[in-house]
Chains A and B, each alone.
Chain A
Amino acid sequence: MSIISEKAAGTDQMVTLFEQNKEILIQGSSPILNRMREVSIKRFAQAGIPDFKNEDYKYTNLKPAFEKSYRQELVREAGLINLNEVFKSNIPELDAHLVFLVNGWFYKGNNPGAELPKGVVLGSLDQIANEHPELLLNFLNRQAGLSVDPLVALNTALTKDGFFLFIPKGVIIEKPVQIINLLSSEVDLMATQRNLIIAEDDTQVKIVVCDHSLSPITFLYNSVSEIYIGNDAVLDMYSIQNLHNQSTVVNSLFFKQQRNSSLTTGVISLHGGLIRNNLKVTFNGDHSEANINGMSFTDKKQHVDNFTVIEHSSPNCLSNQIYKNILDDESTGAFAGRIHVARDAQQTNAFQRNNNVLLSDNARMQTKPQLIIDADDVKCSHGATVGQIDEDALFFLRARGIGENEARMMLMNAFAHEVILKITIEQLRERIDELIEKRLSGEISRFHEQLFI
């Protein structure tokens, strides 16, 4: 059963949608999800859908995306997906523990449990919240609930499902866990997805999340993930966003790190109409490290905005951010990175860099570092560059017989390479190299455009 909102435009329409479908939202959901709904919709209603007037959304206006009617999949639909078809859609094929989600719902056909180490839970957030609420109770919405972002509040109000991953103390998952989020619908669709990852002390896991649009309709995809990283745990998480131009994605990641833990992230925005990535890291224990990387490719009228917040709440932690963008045509990009070093977070190392290449005169990039430092014994740095392809390097390559287009491709690949090298899964690194080639040669864009013919 699906619900079509009469006029799901703007803040009021979202609130109306919530009020009219409250019964359906609550029905079947765990009380730990349901108890957050009312307060969250109120918070959303107060703040409203963000546009340029919201300082945190200065460069991204989400209002136009909400001025449409969308189907909401508030009840699980028993859809079937053709896995062979899916992998033709430029999704990296990995040797991994693989699960699918469709329109925010954990796919029933998944069977990840067999091969996973004992005690690991990978499943539907909806189902596990119902069956084992004790696993989620102390974690769900503990980070997201502090956010002032209206889209995060809206997510909490509307969410029905997502994935849940629990890794008990001391467990190492050798193979990567690959989560493929598919968007598929006959009519314009708004999907809401809520994910939770709990990696207990001394655990290790590598996670690859792939977002894909499969049908030629307008998608509005609002996803929130909370990730808890225990003492001495190592967690690597990569996102590959590859959606067509009629997709709007708001993807919020909240990481909380305990003592002596390590986090590596990479958000690769390959393709999409409008992508907003929120990423927050909170150091909740000393001697932890976070390497946060992003690479985006935009052309036509695409827009990618990366908004990061690093909360250095504990001493002796290191954060290192590298974000890069290659922008063509009339596309626009933004990077805003906030680093807050709390008063007691001495011996903090916090670094941030944002490098951008504009391939056309009409592409625009906005970059804004923000350092708030309340401790006195810290090392912080930030830097940003916006430039063009290095003409001297281009001439050098051409003077060695390499054609102009190929030389340009080589230089763009080289620019992205620094970020790709940070990926700790070798097979993923190779797949992404191929995907970047396909992106820069226009093949991925053509693949998406074919859908609409």
Chain B
Amino acid sequence: MLSIKNLRASVEGKEILKGINLEVKAGEVHAIMGPNGSGKSTLANILAGKQDYEILEGEVTYLGQDLLQLSPEVRSRSGIFLSFQYPVEIPGVPMINFLKASVNEHRKFKGLAPLTAGEFLKLMRAKKEMLHLDTELTNRSVNEGFSGGEKKKNEIFQMAMLEPKLAILDETDSGLDIDALRIVAEGVNALKTPDNATILVTHYQRLLDYIVPDFVHVLYNGRIVKSGGKELAFELEEKGYDWLKNGNEI
């Protein structure tokens, strides 16, 4: 589904990613872990199409297409979903208008007719029930005045509405209390199918108690320095990232 080969990228002249290689297949859950500043969020943002980065080298193929050539909106419509580390507050844009525009753009891309107001509300209700969300979030402007937990729940709700093929969750667990974390994790698990894939970007092992990855990659200083199964996460938790920093054994 996704293939990253020797990806190097810089921001403001500083090289952040120094040669990333990653293969993600349908049905898989990959966790990318690493200390602050290792390049995790940069990788997530580049995949979603944020233009603040300069690609120095390498290629990214998504479903046979050159991903880096696509605009953020086309990536989204093609099934890539980034759950933002810091979801943006947009006062004055009602959540419901935003979601409707988003869902209908996705439908248009697939050659489907836009949803009627009634169909849209029905879809929203179904997804809310599935995620056990209260109804309040959709009556407000996008993320405006939402707590950290509400913002993250709102991201998962958008994900449920858009049913992406490849979901990239950037630090979705940060700033969540244990109840919110459970709701978010259950949502991600409920949306998982054999046809889609998930990349979890996280600093802590905590989220992986709820969403079990098939692969764990350790990103350090712009490179994936270690890959393994879910047990790698426990090892990291036990030994800390210092183990890598000092660790020559990679």
Contacts and interface: CB of A to CB of B under 8 A. Distances in A.
Interface of A: 390, 392-393, 395-404, 406-407, 410-411, 413-418
Given A398-B49, A411-B93, A390 B73 contact: no
A417 B93 CA distance: 8
A360 B91 CA distance: 22
Interface stretch (B2-10, B80-88, B172-180, B200-208): B80-88
B162 interface: yes
10 contacts: A393-B90, A395-B49, A395-B51, A399-B50, A400-B162, A401-B76, A404-B73, A406-B101, A410-B97, A418-B92
A398 B72 contact: yes
Contact of A401 (B88, B93, B162): B162
Interface in B35-87: 48-51, 71-73, 75-77, 82, 84, 87
Interface of B: 48-51, 71-73, 75-77, 82, 84, 87-88, 90-93, 97-98, 101-102, 105-106, 109, 141-142, 158, 162
Contact of B88 (A396, A403, A413): A396
B243 to A, nearest CB: 34
Contacts of A397: 90, 93, 98, 102
A414 B102 contact: no
Contact of A396 (B75, B87, B141): B87
A399 B49 contact: yes
A411 B90 contact: yes
Contacts of B105: 401-403
A198 to B, nearest CB: 37
Q: Which of A398, A399, A411, A413 has the most CB of B within 10 A?
A: A399
Contacts of A415: 92
Looking at chain A's contact residues, is the secondary structure mostly helix, strand, loop, or mixed?
A: helix
A383 to B, nearest CB: 16
Nearest to A421: B92
A414 B91 CA distance: 7
B71 A400 contact: no
Given A397-B98, A410-B98, A402 B90 contact: no
Contacts of A395: 49-51, 72, 88
Nearest to B76: A401
A401 B106 contact: yes
Contacts of A413: 92-93
B101 A410 contact: yes
A397 B88 CA distance: 9
Given A399-B49, A399-B82, 12 more contacts: A393-B90, A395-B72, A397-B90, A398-B76, A399-B48, A400-B162, A401-B76, A403-B105, A404-B71, A404-B73, A407-B73, A414-B90
Nearest to A412: B92
Contacts of A398: 49, 71-73, 76
Contacts of B76: 398-401
B60 to A, nearest CB: 16
Contacts of B75: 399
A413 B90 CA distance: 11
Contacts of A404: 71, 73
Given A395-B50, A396-B84, A406-B101, A401 B109 contact: yes
A115 to B, nearest CB: 35
